[in-house]
Each structure stands twice: as structure tokens, then as C-alpha cells.
Amino acid sequence: MEIVEMSLGQLRKLLDNKEISALEMTKGFLGHIAQLDPEINAFITITEEEALFAAREADARIAKKEGITPLTGIPIAIKDNICTKGVKTTCGSKMLANFIPSYDATVVTKLKQAGAVLIGKTNLDEFAMGSSTESSYFGLTRNPWDLKRIPGGSSGGSAAAVAAGMVPLALGSDTGGSIRQPAAFCGIFGLKPTYGRVSRYGLVPYASSLDQVGPMARTAKDLAVLYHNISGYDPLDSTTVPLLPEKVNDLPQGLKGLRFGIPCESYDKKIDPGIKEKLLLVADLLEKAGCIPVEVSLPSLEYAAAIYYLIAFAEASSNLARYDGVRYGYRSEEQTDMISMFRQTREEGFGREVKRRILLGTCFLTPEYYEDYYLKAEKGRARMKKDFARAFLECEFMLTPTTTVVPNIIREKTDDLLSKYLSEVCTVAANLTGIPALTFPCGCINGLPVGAQLMARAGKEETLFRVASFIEGELGVVKGGIR
């Protein structure tokens, strides 16, 4: 087997047994990237020099048998909205095309401390606003399963890189499904952790109350390992929770007696019949393993998309105010005074979708609309939390589709904004309620991968890893696309 197809555990064994050095491994992945990425365009920046340096350091650790973690010497890709000291962090935007952070995000610090090899920064929808990775200033990313199709988004670069074997692991960020939807479209695993479990310090914010950094991987176990390495309380992020990091090396197998909820609202008629079929298959497997299906009701799910967009756009309009051309990033040449500097810089520096969201969000926060839109959305959000809390009295986890469709052809649906926004219903609920949600591959339709989503109570990532790992074992690896 080639290293590009191996799981973390297999790579670990090669390194620890000194069958291959971290340097050779990193070179191997860099070579794979050089071969595939011109076509896929998963990366905005490849940090070859830094990666080789980190690989040598990892080799030194391995030689001394000191400070070896599961990630020591393992190449990892980072979504390009996560700050890396001394390495461009563009957010896929002209606005930050040349922005080099002076500091590392907490998750990056943690990975570096673990000895991981950061190999490059991956493409995304501009400022993580989108679900197709078509809106990046650095060009679109293609789906390794079918290059005519989108990889999903906004963490499309990370999803494509992992799916194509350019890296075994990647970090994404998820505000309304930006890890899970591209993971599903690219046939890999992705986790949106419980809000507050992973530090946001250094994640360039889109919507602060919804954003979470999360892992993307090709196996459930790899996903869990990466999650455990990046999670935990961070004194630099007031919204992280001071809980001890969980320790899980081997995921427990038994699922007997676990109740899984099937929210009737998420299986409505808009869902692709092929996807529905796959889900029923998964449900069967769970039942056979001793899980108990329960039908649960989430009446407020109907409003999830509306609530999500009101809150996300409002927060985005504020979070993106700092890009004014004064201190860093793009500054328009077409300026004569302060006002025109602000106006032209933002006019030229942001793309269409970002401007659309800023304008709408600004509007939602004006007093004419604040109460009717923003406050009402916050009330809706509180209602959703209650609905979920009630549903989780009856089950330990829920099973839903990750997306209602398979990846579309590039540029095919760009104009149909409403259907694009609505296809995110299944994923946004987890962000609005703060609960963890995991997507796993559950088969293919016409050669395109399909994902299913598991959700659990806040802090119960372990349940999700257990279930996903079980199904992975039952279904075997879902293979396809270029590797």
C-alpha cells in the first residue's frame, strides 16, 4: 500500500519502526501534492520548506524516543482561515491575499507541539462563506471523485486534499456545515466539535457564536486522534470550556442499547432518494448491532436555515469590519481620503458573496430590523436548543443526512441561492445548538460519495466516534476518485 492511502495508525507504525523517516514521508506527500494539485487546486500555499524542517525535527524526536505523540512526523493541511505565524493566511480573499500573521492559532500551536508536519494551507470559499469552494480569490477547488464537480465547502480544499491522499489529516472550520458538507461530498470523515471544545483563537472569524475548528480524516479513528490533539480549554478564548481533554486511544466497540433518534423533519421530500436509501441501510446496521431506533421531533428545524443566516450574517458584518485597509491586508489605490479608502478597499477587496452577507448582516442589526430579525433569530435559536434537549432525552445520538443532494457540477447552481442556502438545513442545526456533529461516508451514488450525519449531546464526541467507527467497520472503506 502507498503511504497516500494509509491511515494514521499505519503511518505511525512505519515511522516508529523506522521503516520510513518523517522526512521521506513528508517528501512523499509533497510529491503527491505536486502531482495532483495543479488539477484539484486544494492548496493556496504549500509550505515545503517549513514542512521539511518540521519533518527533520520529528525525526530527531523519534530517534531520541522523546515527546512522540500520535501526530509526530505526520503531515497535516490547515484551512487557510487559521492563522499560521510567518505563513500567508488569506481566507481565500483578495483582502488578505498577502496577509502574514504574526502569531499561530492555538490549534496550530498544539499541532506543532505534538510534532505534526504542517504541509500547507488549503483553499476555501472566501472568508468561509459558501458551500462549494468556488468563491475563493485563488480559484475553485475540484472534487477528486469527479473533477467536473465541486468538493463542497467552505473547507473544500481540506476535504479534497484528504480525499485525494495529499494528506492523511486536515483541519477545517465549520460555521454551518463547512466541515461536514465537503467531507460528505468528498467521501471522508469530518467533525464539527461541541462549541467551546476547540479554541477559536487564531481562526479568522466568520460568525463567532457558530464557528468551530474541527478535524477531517479518512477514518473515524484518525478523526478522533486529531480531535483529541486540538481540543481543550484555552485561556486565550473565553468561549472554550474548562474541561479536561478526553483520552481515547482505542474506541470501544459495543453499541448495544444505545438509542438513536431519527428526526422526522430531516427526512422530508427534498432529500435525494438515493441518499435516503443509504441512510436506511445505516439505520439497519445500527439496529442489528443492538441500537434502538426512536422517532424524534424537532419542530423548529423548519426555521433552522433562516435563523442561521440571520445570526451568521449579522455577526459576519461585524467581524469583517476590521478589513479597512488601515493596518494590514489590501488597500485600494483609488483613494483620496479616509472615507474613500474604506469604501474602495472594501469594494475591491471583498468578493460578491462576502459583500452580500455583510450588507444583509448590517441591515439585520439596524434598529428597524434588530428586534424583528436579529432578536427573533436568537429566540428561534433558544427554541431549537430546547427542542434538541428534549429530543436527546429520548436518544443518545441522532442520524440524519449530511446533505440532501450529491455534489453538483461546478458553476451549475451558483445562481440558485435559496436552494443553496436551504440545502444546509441538516448541518446548521448543530452549530446553532452548539452540539457535536460528525459526518461519515456511507456509500456511493453513481460514483459520487454520500455522507450521513450523527449528532450527540454537547460534549459527547466519544459517542459519535464509537458509532462512526462501528459503521466504518461494517461498510468497509468507501473508495473512489483520484488518489
Partner 1 sequence: MKYETIIGLEVHVELKTDSKLCCGCSTKFPAEPNTLTCPVCLGLPGALPVLNKKAIDLGITAGLALNCKISRECKFDRKQYFYPDLPKGYQITQFYAPICRTGWLKKEFPTGRRRIRITRIHLEEEAGRSYHSGAGIIDSDYSLLDYNRSSIPLIEIVTAPDLRSPREAKEFMEELKIILEYTGVSDCKMEEGSLRCDANISVRRQGDRELGKRAEVKNMNSFRAVEAALEYEAKRQIELLEQNTPLESEETRAWDEGNRETVFMRFKEKAYEYRYFPDPDLLPVIINDDWIKGIRNKLPELPNSKRERYIQEFRLPKDDAALISSSKPMAEFFEAVLKDYSGEPKNVSNWIIGDLVRLINQEKIEFHQIKLKPEALGQMLKILDQGVISSKIAKTVFEEMFYTGNKPEIIIKEQGLEQISDVQLIQEIVVKVMADHPQSIQDYLSGKKKAKSFLVGQVMKETKGKANPGIVNVLLEKELEKIKE
Smallest distance from partner 1 to CB 64, Å: 33
- 262 forms bridges with which residues in the sheet? 295
Binding mask 358-377 for partner 1 (x = CB under 8 A): ----x--xxx--x---x---
- Work out whether 103 is an interface residue with partner 1 (CB under 8 A): yes
Residue from the set 326, 359, 389, 417 that interacts with partner 1 by CB under 8 A? 326
Residue from the set 33, 162, 191, 207 that interacts with partner 1 by CB under 8 A? 207
- The verdict on whether 247 is a catalytic residue reads no
Q: What is the sign, positive or negative, of the torsion defined by CA atoms of 223, 228, 229, 233?
A: positive
Q: Using the rule CB under 8 A, give the single segment among 83-91, 275-283, 300-308, 425-433 that binds partner 1.
A: 83-91
**CB-based contact 239:193 (threshold 8 Å):** no
- Name the E strands within 218-317: 259-263, 292-296
**CB-based contact 176:308 (threshold 8 Å):** yes
Q: What is the dihedral angle through the alpha carbons of 109, 113, 116, 121, rounded to the nearest 10 degrees?
A: 10
Residue from the set 115, 153, 193, 205 that interacts with partner 1 by CB under 8 A? 205
- Work out whether 213 is an interface residue with partner 1 (CB under 8 A): no
Smallest distance from partner 1 to CB 154, Å: 16
Binding mask 374-393 for partner 1 (x = CB under 8 A): x-------------------
- Class of residue 338 by CB neighbours under 10 A (exposed 0-12, middle 13-18, buried 19+): exposed
- The verdict on whether 155 is a catalytic residue reads no
Among residues 135, 136, 178, 469, the one annotated as catalytic is: 178
Q: Where do we find the cell 452549530?
A: 431
Tell me the C-alpha to C-alpha distance, in Å, between residue 438 and each of 3, 177, 323, 480: 25, 10, 33, 21
Distance CA 381, CA 361 (A): 17
Q: Using the rule CB under 8 A, give the single segment among 49-57, 72-80, 313-321, 460-468 that binds partner 1.
A: 313-321
Distance CA 6, CA 12 (A): 10
Distance CA 416, CA 392 (A): 34
Task: Please count the residues of the chain.
Answer: 483
Among residues 79, 112, 121, 192, the one annotated as catalytic is: 79
- Class of residue 327 by CB neighbours under 10 A (exposed 0-12, middle 13-18, buried 19+): exposed
Closer to partner 1 by Cβ: residue 282 or 312: 312
Closer to partner 1 by Cβ: residue 239 or 297: 239
- Work out whether 198 is an interface residue with partner 1 (CB under 8 A): no
Closer to partner 1 by Cβ: residue 127 or 465: 127
Residues 224-263 that bind partner 1 (CB under 8 A): 235-239
Residue from the set 30, 83, 124, 217 that interacts with partner 1 by CB under 8 A? 83
Closer to partner 1 by Cβ: residue 26 or 123: 123
Smallest distance from partner 1 to CB 86, Å: 14
- The verdict on whether 79 is a catalytic residue reads yes
Among residues 7, 132, 154, 231, the one annotated as catalytic is: 154
Binding interface with partner 1 (CB under 8 A): 81-83, 89, 91, 96, 99, 101-103, 105, 200-205, 207-209, 235-239, 314-315, 317-318, 320-324, 326-328, 337-339, 342, 362, 365-367, 370, 374
